[in-house]
Each structure stands twice: as structure tokens, then as C-alpha cells.
Chain A
Amino acid sequence: MTAEAVAFVGVAVVLLGSSLAVVLTPNLFHSILYLAVALVATGVVFLLLDAPFLFGVQLLLYAGGVVTIVVFAIMLTERLVGRTIRQASRYLINGALLSVAVFAGVAGFLVQAPLAGARPGVSGDLTLAVGRALVGAFAVPLELLGVLLVIALLGALYFARSEP
């Protein structure tokens, strides 16, 4: 096995294990900590796919931003309730059956599809090309994204305002 294969197997084990822990742990707070591990593992998968810029974005926005927001939400609702949120699950067997069926469907498609075995070599700096594309061909979507973030900010503020 090459170094890349060893790294891939290691990351895959961590990612799948922490993902399972996210959906199975009874304590919601632990669930978020495992989600942080899963998000960082996803970032390492991006690194293996030669996208270090996405790894940085993943760490900053997801592992940094999303996890912090969710922890805030948990702390708020938990303090308001005044007890630790235990979370029960329901329909375990039905959910597992449906998830396995979806995976089987995707896997059946993957087996049939003609997929590339080897990746082409990297030509030049990918981060540089991403930056050029963001202010070139993708400039308008980038601006729209900025507008969307402002709208989301205003929306969240509106929801979270104190009652008059």
C-alpha cells in the first residue's frame, strides 16, 4: 500500500467512526464534539485530494464556525430547560433499513459506472487557479453569495431579537 492509501484508510476509519458516533450517542453535546472530529476528517480528505485551500475553509467555517454556533444553541436551550438534554432516537430499525437501502442503491450505481482509476497530475497551483476563477468567471456567484450571507445574518438577527 502506498502512503496515500494508508492515509485514506486511516481518515476513512476516523470519519466513519465519528459520523456513527454523531448519530448514535445519547448526549447531544458529545454528538457535536464528534461532529467536529468528522468535519476535520472531511477536511483531511480534501487534503488527500490536493485541495489544501478547501481544508483551510473547512477548518475555519465548519469546525470553527458551525460547531461554535451549535454549541451556543445547545447551551442556550439546555440552560433554559435547566437539565441536560438526553436525546432519544426513534424508528431505529426503519431508519437503518432506509439508510442501508440508499447506500446499496448508490453502491450499485458505483459498481456499474465507469470510474477513473488514476487521477491526472496537478498542473500548477490549484489555490491560485481557484482564486483567479473566483474573481473571474465566478465573480457574480461570489457577489451573490455575499448578498446571501447578509440576508442570512439579518434573518438570524430578526429571529433572535427580544420580544417588544
Chain B
Amino acid sequence: MPLGAYLTLAALVFAIGLFGVLTRRNAVGILLGIELMLNAVNINLVAFARFSGDLGGILFTLFTIAITVAEVAVGLAIVIVIFRVRRTVEADHLDLLRG
């Protein structure tokens, strides 16, 4: 398959993830949408690395995967703390910083 097919697939997954981030009310649901978007970026990186013959994209993907896992761990810890304090994980109810 040509490079364009992989990039189009990644763009579709990215758009779906963006839709999830924009429409979900639950904080965990928003995190899942972000996961999808990061996955789409990883597909792009590996596809470019493979088609250009450069190893950099694959190494970069390794780093982004590891950083994403750390991000999920901290993000979910924050969600659990918010839940403990506010008894809700609905993003709409978390407007403490609203002026």
C-alpha cells in the first residue's frame, strides 16, 4: 500500500479521537479519545519512518508510547483524586477555575 493510505487511515483515527474528546462528558472518556489521537500520530511516525528508510520515526514512536503510558497513569490518578474530592468525573461539573 502507498504511504498515502497509511496517512489517510491515521487522519481518520485522529478525527475520530478528536470527536471523542469534544463530545465526551466523562473525564475518563476524554482520556480515551486522547489515546486514539496519540495512536494515529504513532501510525504516521512509523509510516514515514518506513517509507523514508530512516529509523528516527520508529525510535520516536517508542518514546511517545512510553510517555503516553506515563501520561495516562498521572491523568487517571488526577481523575481519581478529583472524584474523591468532588464526587464526580463529569468534565462539565469541574468549573472551579471559571472566573
Instruction: Enumerate chain B residues within 8 angstroms of A90, measured Cβ to Cβ.
Output: 23, 25, 92
- On whether the beta carbons of A76 and B55 are closer than 8 Å, the reply is no
Instruction: Enumerate chain B residues within 8 angstroms of A22, measured Cβ to Cβ.
Output: 16, 20, 32-33, 36
- On whether the beta carbons of B59 and A134 are closer than 8 Å, the reply is yes
- On whether the beta carbons of B65 and A15 are closer than 8 Å, the reply is no
- On whether the beta carbons of B50 and A156 are closer than 8 Å, the reply is no
Instruction: Enumerate chain A residues within 8 angstroms of B78, measured Cβ to Cβ.
Output: 159
- Which partner residue on chain B sits nearest A148 by CB separation? B70
B contact residues, range: 35 or more
On A, residues with C-beta under 8 Å from B are 4-5, 8, 12, 15-16, 19-20, 22-23, 28, 31-32, 35, 38-39, 42, 45-46, 48-51, 53-54, 57-58, 61-62, 65-66, 69-70, 72-74, 76-77, 80-81, 85, 87-92, 94-96, 98-100, 102-103, 106-107, 110, 115-120, 123, 126, 129-130, 133-134, 138, 141, 145, 148-149, 151-153, 155-156, 159-160
